[in-house]
Structures are given as structure tokens and as C-alpha cells.
A and B are shown apart, each in its own frame.
Chain A
Amino acid sequence: MTTQSTTPARAGSRFGNRQQLQQILAFAGLVVIFAFFSVASPYFLDWANVKGILLATAVTGIMALGATFVIATGGIDLSVGTGMTLCSVMTGVFLANLGLPLVVGVLGGLAIGALIGLLNGLNVAFLRLPPFIATLAMMMVAQGLSLVISGTKPIYFSDVAGFDQLAAGELVPGLPNAVLIFFVAAVLAGVTLSKTLTGRYALSIGSNEEATAISGVDVRRWKVVIYVVAGLFTGLAGVVMASRLNSAQPGLGLGYELEAIAAVVIGGTSLRGGKATILGTVIGALIMATLTNGLRIMSIPQEWQKVAVGIVIVLAVYADMLRRGKEA
């Protein structure tokens, strides 16, 4: 698996083994699901289908990467779904309406994501709003603004040459760029979480905010930085989404944040903060997409697909809690 190249994040070596255990567990879960569907349907284990699963993972997966940082601090980001939509719409405004060059439009989309993160961060760190409330508000603001700015109509990129290739093109033959972008983003997120101050402070704030502050870290400033990092991933997801649909759909997005959070949690990142893993998030996102895909291939009705995903979330989090119980 290409994702193996991401280094697991560690909240200090003390947690190293347990984290690896959680990742192994999540990965084993993925393998079991894969094996199950491969036996259940002759059409499941096929490169075209695996590619489909990876493609279905990409957008939610990229959002989940960003959400991992916020959740690592013990926070939550409900604005990633509609925030992503706003980034798509703004990318549409930059490229399709204003006719800016491709690179500028894409960077603009990312910048809007960063701006959303910045506002979330300021509201959480300086106005001291609970992250749930701050990002819930942002979720609504972003949804409303997407509709206002787009005039409630989709923005199409038909006249923007090359934009659809961002997601659909294949720099690596056989692998859609959307998937490549997801993997590269995962590696960057992994490095950021484990090797940079941003990642280390995110985990440190999540495990003990007061102690982190006492040790001389400017907690408020770093929280803002962490939300901005999360926002950048939201922006990237927005650009990839827009490119894959070759349009910015202002009505989409609501509910995607919960899928992203579910992916993070299945991967073993704790909602209480202080413990996070990017590889886990990638596996979590893959589990969600694989499950949906496999159940669809078996022609299981959509309503049962949701039941299955719900059960997997419960199992994953319960397994995590059991281990934590032993720790205490």
C-alpha cells in the first residue's frame, strides 16, 4: 500500500507502541473488509474497482487529513464540509468568472480554505468559543456564502482549459491525479504532524493545554496556525471536488464533515485530543469508502449501507476505548 510511506505520528515515544497497535488494528480491519468483499463478489477485487474506491476516498480523505489536526488538539471542525463547498465556489469565481490563470485560481481556492481556518482559529483561540460552536457557525456561514456568491447556481469550468485534468488526469499512468493528490497530501500531513512544531504542539495542546502553556508555548497563536493548516486541506478538497465534477456545486457539502470525522475516529485519533495518526486517518477513510463500494457491488440497499458504516464506527471507537481503559 502506497500509504505505508507516511510515518505514524507519535505523541512522545511512550505512546508509540499503542498507536502502532491501533493502526495495525485499523489496517487489519481494512484487510478483513477487503477479503470479505473479494470472496463475496467476483467483481470487487479488480484494479478498476480499487481505483474507484481510491477516487471515492480522495475528497473525504483530504478533508479528514485536515480534521485530524484539529481533533488532535481536542477540538472539532464541523466546517470542513460546507467550507470545502465554499472553496469550490470561490475557485469557480476565480477561474470561470474572473478568468484568472489556473495556478492563481487553485491557490486562491486554497487561500479561501486557509482564511476559513484562520477565522475558526481566531474564534477558538481569541474569542474562546468552544470549537464545536465556532466551527458550527462557520459551517452555516460557509453554506450561506456559497449560495449567495454562486447565485444558487452551479459554476461550470467547461471553458477553463485543463482544470478537469487536475483530478481526472493521470500523471502516474493508471492512477487518477485526485488519488495522487490525496496520497501526497497524506505524506505532507504525516510529516507536518510528526516532524514539525505545528504537529507537536497540536498533540501537546490536546493532551494538556495548561501544561503546554506553562512550558512557554503561545497556545493561542499555535491554535490559529493549526486551524489554518486544517483549512488548507479543506481548500485542497474543494479544488479536487470542483475539478472532479468540473463544476462548483453550491448545494453539496453538508454531511461530508461527519464522514471526515468518522474517518479520523475509525483511524484511531482520539476525539479527546493528544493522540492522532495520519496513517490511521487514511486507513479510516479507505475503510468508509471500501465498505460503501463493496456493499453497493453486492447490491445491498443504501439504507443498509448506512447501518453497516454506523456499526463499524461503533466497533472502531469501542476497540479504542477498551485499550484506553487498560491504560488507566
Chain B
Amino acid sequence: MNIHTTTRRRIAAAAAASVAAVLALAACSSGGGGEPGAGDKPYVALVSKGFQHQFWQAVKQGADDAAAELDVEVTFEGPETETEVEKQLTMLQTALDKNPDAIGYAALDSEASTPMMTDAESRGIPVIAFDSGVESEVPVTTVSTDNLAASAEAAKHMAELVGSGKIAIVGHDQTSQTGQQRVEGFTQYIEENAPDIEIVDTQYAGGDQLKSADAAKAIMQAHPDLKGIYGTNEGSAIGVVKAVQESGRSGELTVIGFDSGTAQTDAIRDGLMAGAITQDPIKMGYETVKAAVAAINDEQLEPVIDSGFYWYDETNIDDGDIAAVLYE
């Protein structure tokens, strides 16, 4: 019995020690920036939709670039997945409580944050919406990609490449505005401009590569004469490429994607994907911080700042303008 207790104590001690070590490590890696808001520099808190995804890392890079250039302090955080609305609201609340000079906010749910928007307004903290709009009068401007125009551009290329016949869409999210517009802009363009093309199915797979691949395969199975598939974000597009490859039909279907990432750029270089639309996440981050600084200085801002998009394919993937906004 005694032996057991000692062992248990030892294990507990070891566990405690390892926790302490991890915490110490974490403290080291997050240090260096100093206490946000403590210095004389204006402090801009950015609450994004995500963190780990490459897209958000590119936004962060743009924000950091602007911070260095405009000499402001910027923090960047976001929930792990784009479904954690509640967690994001907590982050927004915490950011507000730090009393920043301005807040940049990419809303996962555009209505859920209304009370905090009011809170920000009453404290006189200007809010810059980025990536997607916020259903509120509070944000002074919205920095975002025009997703309707961008997905219409994808449809234009699909129509040119396919000519006529059946195509399908693998979407990433039917509940967010971005996810809806990526499908809507595409569908609208095809309906209005390509009467010979029929969109036979639109399936959503949450942007998960495996699930998108399975969904794309099921669509291909149900429509053997399918001529093209459009994937509305990185995960969806890579899943579609995977599905075409695994079905041994590479080259037979026209695949068009959205965003970038090494797997997608490789697929375009290898001819597995016809091309894709890329947003300009670096510009999005940059413009958000720039707008925040302008708001802090009481400058007038346009209600919407377009952060732009590009069509890229084999021919222009290595051009300077394009290569700069493609992330790995």
C-alpha cells in the first residue's frame, strides 16, 4: 500500500513538473512582444475567424507588415475552427476589455456580436470589420474580398473551359456569408451567361479534404458525364482534385479551386487543376490595420474596402503579383 502511494505521488509530481515545463515553454514563445497596450504605440486588437489555417496566417502577416510600417502594436487571435462562434465572442470580449485603440473583427456570426459592438461604440473604440461584414452600424468600414465577383470570375473560366454540359460544386460552408456567396456568385454567372451549362449538384463538406473528396466522388458517380467541378475553398478544392485522381479521371474533368496552399498550387502546376481564384489575404490584413490607424486618427473611410482577388493558372502562377499573395 505504501509503495503504491509513493508511486502515485511520484507520478503526480512528474505530471505536475511536465505541466509546469509546458507552461514555461508556452510563456517563452509568447513573450517578446511585451504587454499589449502598455507602451505608447497605438494598440490594434484583431480577432479573426481562424488562426491555424494558412489564409489567416497570411492575413496576420499583412497585419504585421502594416504594424511595422505604421508603428502600431497589433495582436492577432482567432478560434481553432470556423464554427466556434461562442469562443470567438469570448475572444472579442477579452480584446475589448484590454481597451485597445481600435479593433479589427472578422465575424463568424455577423449578428451574435451585436452587444459587443454596442459596447465598443460606447467605449469609443472604432471597429474595422474584415473578411466578412458585421450586421451592425458600428464598424466604420469593412475590408473584404468581393466574394460574389470573385466566384463569378471562377464561373467565367469554368464556362470558357467546359463550353457546355454538366458541372457541380463542392462547397465548404452553407451557413456563413462567405460560403454562401462563393456558391451564389458562381451559380448566378452560369445561369445568366452559360445556358448550355447545367449545375447538377451542390454538396457541402465543411472544407475537410477527405470529406470533400468523398463528396466529389459521389457526385461523379451519380453523374458519369460530369465535365467540371468547382471547389469553393482550399480544402474543398484539394478534395475535388483527390477525388478526380482516385477515380482515375485526371485530365477528363475541369477542376477550379479557390484560395491557395501548396497542394493546390502543385495541382495547378501539374495540370490536375485548371486554375483557381485567390484572395489577397496579405492585403486584407494590411488594409485592416491601415484602416484602424486611420480610424484612430479620425480620418474618413469608405464603407467598403475591397481587398481584391486574382484568377491564377499555369500561365501566371509565378508572376510577381500572384506569387506574392499565394501562401504555402
Instruction: Identify which of residues 132-180 in chain A touch chain B, using a CB-to-CB cut-off of 8 Å.
Output: 143, 147, 152-154, 156, 158, 168, 176
Instruction: Identify which of residues 26-62 in chain A touch chain B, using a CB-to-CB cut-off of 8 Å.
Output: 41, 43-44, 46, 48-49, 52, 55-56, 59
Interfacial chain A residues near B218, Cβ < 8 Å: 49, 52, 293, 296-297
Q: Does A215 contact B (CB under 8 A)?
A: no
Whether B15 pairs with A127 at a CB distance below 8 angstroms is yes
Whether A52 pairs with B217 at a CB distance below 8 angstroms is yes
Q: How far is the CA of A296 from the CA of B239 in the complex (A)?
A: 15
Which of B12, B203, B328 is the one whose CB lies under 8 Å from A153? Answer: B328
Q: Does A13 contact B (CB under 8 A)?
A: no
Instruction: Identify which of residues 114-133 in chain A touch chain B, using a CB-to-CB cut-off of 8 Å.
Output: 122, 126-127
Instruction: Identify which of residues 6-45 in chain B touch chain A, using a CB-to-CB cut-off of 8 Å.
Output: 7-8, 11-12, 15
Q: How far is the CA of A244 from the CA of B214 in the complex (A)?
A: 12
Instruction: Identify which of residues 205-227 in chain B touch chain A, using a CB-to-CB cut-off of 8 Å.
Output: 205-206, 208-210, 214-215, 217-219, 221-224
Interfacial chain B residues near A44, Cβ < 8 Å: 221
Q: Which of B46-54, B144-152, B157-165, B275-283 contacts A (4 or more CB under 8 A)?
A: B46-54
Whether A302 pairs with B203 at a CB distance below 8 angstroms is yes
Q: Does B204 contact A (CB under 8 A)?
A: yes
Q: How far is the CA of A111 from the CA of B170 in the complex (A)?
A: 36
- Secondary structure call for the B interface: helix
Q: Which of B69-77, B259-267, B307-315 contacts A (4 or more CB under 8 A)?
A: B259-267
Q: Does A4 contact B (CB under 8 A)?
A: no
Q: Does A6 contact B (CB under 8 A)?
A: no
Whether A126 pairs with B80 at a CB distance below 8 angstroms is no
Interfacial chain A residues near B266, Cβ < 8 Å: 156, 158
Q: Does A241 contact B (CB under 8 A)?
A: yes
Interfacial chain B residues near A122, Cβ < 8 Å: 11
Whether B8 pairs with A245 at a CB distance below 8 angstroms is no
CB-based nearest A residue for B205: A302
Instruction: Identify which of residues 226-285 in chain B touch chain A, using a CB-to-CB cut-off of 8 Å.
Output: 238, 242, 245-247, 261-263, 266
Interfacial chain B residues near A176, Cβ < 8 Å: 246
Which of B7, B53, B217 is the one whose CB lies under 8 Å from A251? Answer: B53
CB distance from B169 to the nearest CB of A (A): 12
Whether A168 pairs with B246 at a CB distance below 8 angstroms is yes
CB-based nearest A residue for B262: A156
Instruction: Tell which of B53, B221, B266, B328 has the most Cβ of chain A within 10 Å.
Output: B221
Q: Does B193 contact A (CB under 8 A)?
A: no
Q: A200-241 interface mask toward B, CB cutoff 8 Å, 1 = contact, 0 = none?
A: 000000000000000000000000000000000000000001
Q: Does A299 contact B (CB under 8 A)?
A: yes
CB-based nearest B residue for A156: B262
Whether A251 pairs with B52 at a CB distance below 8 angstroms is yes
Interfacial chain B residues near A249, Cβ < 8 Å: 209
Whether A293 pairs with B214 at a CB distance below 8 angstroms is yes
CB-based nearest B residue for A53: B214
Which of B7, B206, B238 is the one whose CB lies under 8 Å from A126? Answer: B7
CB distance from B92 to the nearest CB of A (A): 21
Beyond A41-B222, A126-B11, is A245–B217 a contact (Cβ under 8 Å)? no
Q: Does A301 contact B (CB under 8 A)?
A: yes
Q: How far is the CA of A245 from the CA of B214 in the complex (A)?
A: 12
CB-based nearest A residue for B57: A152
Whether A154 pairs with B8 at a CB distance below 8 angstroms is no
Whether B210 pairs with A43 at a CB distance below 8 angstroms is no
Instruction: Tell which of A154, A250, A293 has the most Cβ of chain B within 10 Å.
Output: A154
CB distance from A165 to the nearest CB of B (A): 13
CB distance from B205 to the nearest CB of A (A): 7
CB-based nearest B residue for A249: B209
Q: Does B188 contact A (CB under 8 A)?
A: no
Interfacial chain B residues near A41, Cβ < 8 Å: 222
| Count class of interface residues, chain B | 35 or more
Whether B215 pairs with A296 at a CB distance below 8 angstroms is yes
Q: Does A247 contact B (CB under 8 A)?
A: yes
Whether B52 pairs with A147 at a CB distance below 8 angstroms is yes
CB distance from B55 to the nearest CB of A (A): 11
Which of A43, A59, A241, A247 is the one whose CB lies under 8 Å from B222? Answer: A43
Q: Does A254 contact B (CB under 8 A)?
A: yes
CB-based nearest B residue for A55: B246
Q: How far is the CA of A301 from the CA of B223 in the complex (A)?
A: 16
Whether B203 pairs with A296 at a CB distance below 8 angstroms is yes
Q: How far is the CA of A176 from the CA of B242 in the complex (A)?
A: 14
Whether A302 pairs with B81 at a CB distance below 8 angstroms is no
Q: Does B201 contact A (CB under 8 A)?
A: yes
Which of A49, A244, A293, A299 is the one whose CB lies under 8 Å from B210? Answer: A244
Interfacial chain B residues near A301, Cβ < 8 Å: 174, 203-204
Whether B262 pairs with A46 at a CB distance below 8 angstroms is no
Interfacial chain B residues near A246, Cβ < 8 Å: 263
CB distance from B233 to the nearest CB of A (A): 12
CB distance from B294 to the nearest CB of A (A): 30
Q: Does A292 contact B (CB under 8 A)?
A: yes
Beyond A52-B214, A302-B174, is A127–B8 a contact (Cβ under 8 Å)? yes
CB distance from B206 to the nearest CB of A (A): 8
Whether B209 pairs with A252 at a CB distance below 8 angstroms is yes
CB distance from A79 to the nearest CB of B (A): 16
Q: How far is the CA of A250 from the CA of B54 in the complex (A)?
A: 11
User: Given A52-B218, A156-B263, A246-B263, list of 13 further CB < 8 A pairs?
Assistant: A46-B221, A52-B217, A52-B247, A126-B8, A127-B8, A153-B57, A154-B261, A154-B262, A156-B262, A245-B263, A251-B53, A296-B215, A302-B174
Closest 5 CB pairs of A and B: A296-B218, A152-B52, A56-B214, A52-B217, A297-B222
Can you list 13 residue pairs at the A/B interface with Cβ under 8 Å?
A: A43-B221, A43-B224, A46-B221, A49-B218, A126-B11, A127-B8, A143-B80, A153-B57, A154-B261, A244-B210, A254-B81, A293-B214, A299-B222
Chain B: residues with CB nearer than 8 A to chain A? 7-8, 11-12, 15, 51-54, 57, 80-81, 174, 201, 203-206, 208-210, 214-215, 217-219, 221-224, 238, 242, 245-247, 261-263, 266, 328
